[in-house]
Amino acid sequence: MNLLYKTKTYLVGHMQYLSGRDWREEVTEKLAPLEITCFNPYKKPFIKDVEEDEASRQEMETWMKTKQYDRVTERLKTVRAYDLNLVDRSDFIIAHLVPDVASWGSAEEIVTAVRMK
């Protein structure tokens, strides 16, 4: 019997300064035969969702350049709440970190996972 069968995992890693799509898709594909649900922050499972696609990233970049920090803050508060909710629902996490690239969201997700389990 496989202990991971039908469990849930959250895929922690860079998104803003380094693309994190490829490795997440690869992991999801490899875990599918075990029926492990992979929570991917690029593809949140919520009915009401906050977009984290390339268009929304470019929009936030524009807001940063034009000093619309309140808009960035509001969007990131929502993203943070959704992502930490998925961490809490997970049985375990898989983290892919690049030490040279800052990822404070990833750090918080790891700390949250450790506290919850």
What are the residue boundaries of the structural domains of the chain, listed by start? 8-116
pLDDT digits (tens, 9 = 90+) for 25-75: 999 999 999 999 999 998 888 767 777 778 888 999 999 999 999 999 999
* pLDDT value of residue 1: 66
The residue assigned the tokens 């970049």 is 61
d(CA 100, CA 115): 25
d(CA 43, CA 99): 24
- The sheet carrying 92-96 orders its strands as 37-39, 8-13, 92-96
* pLDDT value of residue 15: 83
Other beta carbons less than 10 A from residue 59's beta carbon: 16
In 3D space, the residue among 103, 117, 115, 116 whose CA is nearest the CA of residue 41 turns out to be: 103
Compute CA 45 distance to the chain's CA centroid, rounded to the nearest angstrom.
Answer: 12
pLDDT digits (tens, 9 = 90+) for 55-64: 888 999 999 9
- In the three-class reduction of DSSP (H, G, I as helix; E, B as strand; rest coil), residue 53 is classed as coil
